[in-house]
């Protein structure tokens, strides 16, 4: 398969435009649109190959991006970072870097659009055509979801129609002046694309974005918009098929560098090669330069009984958990716990919270509504998705998620989803404040200046005094 991917990449290089900013240009002038499903797959295999090598940072996050996201959060003590500031002190030092994702994601969307729009009906009905088409839909939806999480403010159930989404580009129209859609319409497109991907029923794991992976992301999408019924529905389908693992199997899954083990549905970096240095460097930097927060370590109240306690970090508060992109079903278990909590089904929420704890903590005591830990008033998150104060049950779900998903790029978006709390760190006598607006990255100026009336995100609007 890897040899085939190389051939596909060469074909893609010939066929594709190198522009990242012209995301309206579905069919670049002077270029040739493929005719067969096999040729269309070339638009996707460049990305798939980069995922294999651990070099992809558009659709999924590289190890370097994951370490940066960790530095934005309260899990690490960036104030105590040693050596040169290779890692970010806080999110504000990397706002321009986050902003660059805009053009890169639309470049990937353009490739997906070529497949979705141009593939002939006769190819869509074949097994290979369905596989390529389903992969394109899943990849496009993931790109739009990532755009939403980076460039849109958190979803508000009663106001999403008035919130800013992102430009929706699904077909070729060079004369169009695309402004930002509303957030509700943007989310509906993402959901529609994932459903189309699921309908194509991709099972060939060489294409990575199978129907199961699409269901995982669909559960994540519904979770982000607070559709708890649907997030629980799809999360349960995934968790039932990929049950939790524990003990040595769990450790092997987390520390695996080049293999997809345990209940991992999708993983980057499964081939040693050109991505070796980047992945090794990301793990070395985070381990050597930035200690873990004491507040984070104190969340492990069962200490050595919790398999993660001496597995994710050492006695010097250094990270020992292997950093790599992976989709695994523990996230779905925690999604179920919070979804049922929000649906006022506390007993069901406790079932999934205890399911996760049972697989991580030896001699664990199941939580009940009577023995839940008291809410720590110093906890950074003060309110939930709905703006309501935390309860002991939700606090327990959130802290379990914070522990389980450590160094997997999750915590930053949990902070954004739940109130965007302000906090600060310091270095060299300076105070760096993570303000509310910094949770949303700015749209690049070359994009906002291109179309009259294109709205920038709050906090980044330039005014002339």
Domain with residue 314: its CATH number is 1.25.40.390
* Helix, strand, or coil (residue 148): helix
Query: Distance (Å, rounded) from C-alpha 293 to C-alpha 441?
Result: 25
- Pick the closest to residue 191 from 170, 211, 209, 214 (CA basis): 214
User: How many structural domains compose the chain?
Assistant: 1
Contact 446, 438 (CB under 8 A): no
Instruction: Compute the 3-state secondary structure of the chain and give helix, strand, coil in percent, each to the nearest 5.
Output: 50, 5, 45
| Boundaries of domain holding 262 | 2-424
431 CB-contact burial (10 Å; exposed 0-12 / middle 13-18 / buried 19+): exposed
pLDDT digits (tens, 9 = 90+) for 373-430: 999 999 999 999 999 999 999 999 999 999 999 999 999 999 999 999 999 999 888 9
- Which neighbouring-strand residues pair with 267? 326
363 found inside a domain:
yes
Sheet strands (E) in 299-364? 326-328
Each residue's pLDDT, cut to its tens digit, for the chain (465 residues) gives 443 443 333 333 333 333 334 565 555 545 567 888 888 888 898 999 999 999 999 899 999 999 999 999 999 999 998 766 678 999 999 999 999 999 999 999 999 999 999 999 999 999 999 999 999 999 999 999 999 999 999 999 999 999 999 999 998 665 566 899 999 999 999 999 999 999 999 999 999 999 999 999 999 999 999 999 999 999 999 999 999 999 999 999 999 999 999 999 999 999 999 899 999 999 998 988 899 999 999 999 999 999 999 999 999 999 999 999 999 999 999 999 999 999 999 999 999 999 999 999 999 999 999 999 999 999 999 999 999 999 999 999 999 999 999 999 999 999 999 999 999 999 888 999 999 999 999 999 988 888 888 999 999 976 544
Give the model's pLDDT for residue 173: 63
448 found inside a domain:
no
**H or E stretch including 425?**
strand 423-427
Give the model's pLDDT for residue 465: 46
In Å, how far are 228, 350, 378, 442 from 354, measured between CA atoms? Answer: 19, 6, 24, 40
Sheet strands (E) in 316-407? 326-328
Query: Distance (Å, rounded) from C-alpha 229 to C-alpha 219?
Result: 10
Query: Distance (Å, rounded) from C-alpha 388 to C-alpha 150?
Result: 23
444 found inside a domain:
no
User: Is the alpha carbon torsion for 159, 161, 167, 169 positive or negative?
Assistant: positive
434 found inside a domain:
no
pLDDT digits (tens, 9 = 90+) for 112-163: 999 999 999 999 999 999 999 999 999 999 999 999 999 999 999 999 999 9
In Å, how far are 69, 407, 421, 424 from 378, measured between CA atoms? Answer: 22, 22, 12, 14
- Pick the closest to residue 239 from 333, 174, 171, 315 (CA basis): 333
317 found inside a domain:
yes
* Helix, strand, or coil (residue 122): helix
Tokens linked to 84: 């040169």
DSSP assigned state of 349: H
* Helix, strand, or coil (residue 431): strand
452 found inside a domain:
no
Query: Distance (Å, rounded) from C-alpha 345 to C-alpha 336?
Result: 11
Give the model's pLDDT for residue 85: 61
Contact 307, 203 (CB under 8 A): no
Q: If you count them, how many residues does the chain have?
A: 465
**What's the pTM?**
0.93
402 found inside a domain:
yes
- Pick the closest to residue 149 from 339, 414, 403 (CA basis): 414
In the chain, how many H helices and how many E strands?
19, 4
Query: Distance (Å, rounded) from C-alpha 404 to C-alpha 446?
Result: 39
455 found inside a domain:
no
């Amino acid at each position: 398969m890897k040899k085939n991917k190389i051939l596909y990449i060469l074909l893609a290089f010939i066929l594709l435009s190198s522009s990242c900013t012209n995301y309206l240009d579905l069919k670049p002038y002077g270029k040739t649109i493929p005719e067969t499903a096999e040729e269309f797959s070339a638009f996707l295999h460049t990305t798939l190959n980069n995922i294999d090598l651990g070099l992809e940072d558009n659709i999924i996050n590289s190890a370097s991006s994951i370490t940066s996201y960790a530095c934005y959060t309260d899990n690490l003590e960036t104030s105590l970072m040693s050596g040169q500031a290779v890692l970010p002190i806080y999110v504000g030092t990397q706002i321009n870097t986050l902003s660059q994702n805009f053009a890169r994601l639309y470049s990937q969307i353009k490739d997906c659009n070529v497949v979705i729009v141009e593939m002939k009906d006769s190819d869509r009905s074949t097994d290979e055509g369905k596989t390529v088409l389903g992969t394109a839909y899943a990849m496009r939806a993931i790109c739009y979801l990532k755009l939403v999480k980076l460039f849109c403010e958190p979803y508000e159930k009663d106001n999403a129609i008035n919130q800013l989404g992102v430009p929706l580009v699904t077909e070729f129209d060079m004369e169009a002046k695309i402004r930002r859609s509303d957030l509700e319409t943007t989310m509906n497109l993402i959901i529609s694309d994932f459903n189309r991907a699921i309908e194509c029923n991709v099972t060939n794991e060489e294409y990575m974005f199978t129907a199961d992976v699409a269901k995982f992301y669909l559960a994540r999408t519904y979770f982000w918009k607070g559709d708890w019924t649907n997030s629980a529905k799809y999360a349960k389908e995934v968790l039932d098929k990929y049950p939790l693992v524990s003990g040595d199997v769990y450790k092997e899954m987390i520390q695996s560098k080049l293999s997809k083990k345990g209940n991992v549905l999708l993983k980057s970096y499964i081939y040693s090669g050109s991505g070796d240095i980047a992945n090794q460097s990301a793990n070395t930097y985070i381990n050597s330069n930035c200690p873990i927060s004491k507040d984070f370590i104190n969340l492990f109240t069962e200490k050595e009984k919790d398999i993660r306690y001496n597995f994710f970090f050492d006695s010097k508060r250094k990270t020992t958990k292997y950093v790599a992109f992976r989709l695994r079903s523990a996230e779905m278990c925690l999604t179920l716990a919070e979804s049922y909590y929000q649906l006022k089904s506390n007993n069901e929420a406790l079932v999934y919270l205890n399911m996760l704890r049972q697989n991580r903590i030896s001699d664990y005591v199941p939580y009940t509504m009577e023995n839940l830990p008291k809410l720590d008033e110093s906890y950074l998150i003060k309110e939930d998705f709905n703006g309501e104060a935390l309860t002991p049950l939700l606090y327990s779900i959130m802290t379990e998620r914070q522990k389980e998903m450590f160094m997997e790029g999750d915590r930053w978006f949990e902070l954004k989803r739940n109130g965007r709390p302000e906090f600060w760190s310091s270095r060299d006598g300076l105070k760096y404040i993570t303000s509310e607006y910094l949770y949303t990255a700015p749209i690049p100026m070359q994009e906002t200046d291109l179309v009259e009336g294109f709205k920038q995100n709050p906090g980044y609007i330039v005014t002339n005094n």
